[in-house]
Amino acid sequence: FFSSVALAPDDPILGLTDAWLADPRSPKVNLGVGVYYDADGRQVLPESVMRAEATLTARRRARSYIPIDGLPDYDSATQRLVFGEDCAAAAEGRVVTAQTLGGTGALRVGADFLKATLPFAKVAISQPSWPNHQVLFRAAGFEIGNYPYYHADSHGVDFDAMLAALLAMDAGTVVLLHACCHNPTGADLSTAQWREVAGTVRDRGLLPFVDMAYQGFDRGIAEDAQGIAILLEAGVENLLVANSCSKSFSLYGERVGALSLVCASADEARRVRSQVKQTIRANYSNPPTHGAALVATILGDPDLRAQWEEEVGQMRGRIKAMRNGLVARLAALGHPEFAFINRQAGMFTYSGLSPAQVQRLRDEFAIYAVSSGRICVSALNEANLDYVADAIARVAG
Ligand code: LMR
């Protein structure tokens, strides 16, 4: 039965971790996957998460099924995190939020819901984007197009080209936008650019689907969600948001995320929720308990929440310090052209290294990065910065 099954390629991001783990060389550095490591290169649970875990353990909860659309406390706390405390649409009962299996699960449930609701819609994704965006929307049956986003020379957003592409799209096109910390480029829209995008999306009748996997990693929790608030302020009636707690709570393996859908009325929201629940039920029945219970505990307790926000701020600060450290070392090695790394936001730098240069990093230095040139800055630390900077300087020529 399976004799004709072809061998699929390794995943361009997660496959790197497998290869890095199997690499016997030392030193070796994994700058591939987007995971936060501390100053000692370890992945640790934030203190706030450990405290919430102790609280939950002491309660000795049973593990029954939870609702198809997730823990109610988690859903409402997440909705406030994503849309802010004073969101009119939320107050009017127009926002549906459903717990999902990470941000990827949110994107996929959203994509499946959209395919069932708008079967002929096209999907437009930024060029470049997280590779799994293409994969999962295609798996949901969509025809995918790209819109220009990144300007290689300026290392920033090619905003004129992006806007022109939005203006040329068919009404009803689903436009995938990155809320903050654009993956892989680290180039984000300014406030003024978000306003223009929001007006264009509204006037052209496009449907925004915002991916927010790195809330808190650029400027702050509310600040990094500003694009969503701006879309709503502009009067965009329907939009979807996929958000993730993988990075911001360091809960990667717990698979905690949520899909939110803004609807035109509370009645529409009720119908949309019923369909989203059907999509989830047909996939994995209902989501797991633990990660969402941790997040709900943290967000529901002012003391834990303050500690968590402070810890996210520390992660943000360390990443920025590593950017600085890399730029300074590269400049000292005769490569001042990498100064743009300090202007990029979030976990990644889009280094400009070619696939061949990335391959050299791996072959000659056991340094693993994504072939697009994306480097995970949060995997840098004082112990590996010199080694990495030296290797980049060598392959950069
Ligand atoms: C990444 O981009 O490295 C992360 O979002 C992990 C993943 O699933 O690819």
Evaluate: CB of 183 within 6 angstroms of ligand 1: yes
Asked, for residue 191, whether it belongs to a domain, the answer is yes
The verdict on the CB of residue 129 being under 6 Å from ligand 1 is no
Could you tell me if 258 and 359 lie in one domain? no
Question: Given the CA of residue 13, which atom of ligand 1 is nearest to it?
Answer: 9
Q: Has residue 2 been placed in a domain?
A: no
Out of 268, 300, 332, pick the residue that ends a domain: 300
Give the integer Cα–Cα distance in Å for 295 and 210.
Answer: 21
Confirm whether 334 is domain-assigned: yes
Q: How many domains does the chain have?
A: 2
Of 300, 335, 358, the domain-final residue: 300
H or E segment to which residue 91 belongs: helix 88-91
Distance CA 196, CA 279 (A): 33
Domain boundary among 300, 331, 355: 300
Active site residue 20: no
Question: Are 218 and 230 members of one domain?
Answer: yes
Cα–Cα dist 238/231, whole Å: 10
pLDDT reported for residue 61: 87
Mark whether 228 and 109 lie in a shared domain: yes
Give dist(CA 38, CA 210) in Å, integer.
28
Q: What is the CATH number of the domain that holds 390?
A: 3.90.1150.10
Is 211 one of the catalytic residues? Answer: yes
pLDDT in tens, the chain (397 residues): 999 999 999 999 999 999 999 999 999 999 999 999 999 999 999 999 999 999 999 998 888 999 999 999 999 999 999 999 999 999 999 999 999 999 999 999 999 999 999 999 999 999 999 999 999 999 999 999 999 999 999 999 999 999 999 999 999 999 999 999 999 999 999 999 999 999 999 999 999 999 999 999 999 999 999 999 999 999 999 999 999 999 999 999 999 999 999 999 999 999 999 999 999 999 999 999 999 999 999 999 999 999 999 999 999 999 999 999 999 999 999 999 999 999 999 999 999 999 999 999 999 999 999 999 999 999 999 999 999 999 999 999 8
- Do 282 and 211 lie in one domain? The reply is yes
Query: Does 315 contact ligand 1 (Cβ within 6 A)?
Result: no
**Residue matched to tokens 């969503």:** 228
Contact 224, 217 (CB under 8 A): yes
Residue 50 lies in a domain: no
CA end-to-end distance (rounded Å), the chain:
51
Question: Based on the domain organization, do 168 and 185 belong to the same domain?
Answer: yes
Ligand 1 within 6 A of CB of 348: no
Find out whether the beta carbon of 210 lies less than 6 Å from any atom of ligand 1: no
**Catalytic pick from 112, 188, 247, 308?**
247
Cβ proximity of 372 and 350 under 8 Å: yes
Asked if residue 321 and residue 288 are part of one domain, the reply reads: no
Q: Which residues contact 303 (CB under 8 A, 6 or more apart)?
A: none
Same domain flag for 241 and 261: yes
- Which among 20, 130, 194, 308 is annotated as catalytic? 130
Cβ of residue 373 lying under 6 Å from some atom of ligand 1: no
Q: Is residue 343 part of a domain?
A: yes
Mutate to test the pocket of ligand 1, among 14, 101, 182, 256 (most ligand atoms within 8 A of CB): 14
Q: Nearest residue CA, atom 5 of ligand 1?
A: 34
Residue 276 — φ and ψ, nearest 5°?
-60, -40
**378 in the same domain as 339:** yes
Q: How far apart are CA 358 and CA 377, in angstroms?
A: 15
Query: Residue 368: what pLDDT?
Result: 97
190 and 271 housed in the same domain:
yes
CB atoms within 10 A of CB 349: 31
Residues 293 and 344 occupy one common structural domain: no
Q: Identify whether 122 is a catalytic site residue.
A: no
Can you give the CATH number for the domain in which 120 is found? 3.40.640.10
With vertex at residue 157, the alpha carbon angle to CA 209 and CA 29, rounded to the nearest 5 degrees, is: 90
Q: Could you write out the DSSP letters of every residue in 254-289? A: G-EEEEEEE-SSHHHHHHHHHHHHHHHHHHTSS--S
Is 139 found in the same domain as 250? yes
Q: pTM of the entire structure? A: 0.96
Domain extent at residue 98: 63-300
pLDDT at position 315: 96
Structure tokens at 232: 């709503």
Any atom of ligand 1 within 6 Å of the Cβ of 184? no
Cα-to-centroid distance, 13 and ligand 1 (Å): 6
Pick from 221, 34, 261: nearest CA to 132:
34
Same structural domain, 275 and 324: no
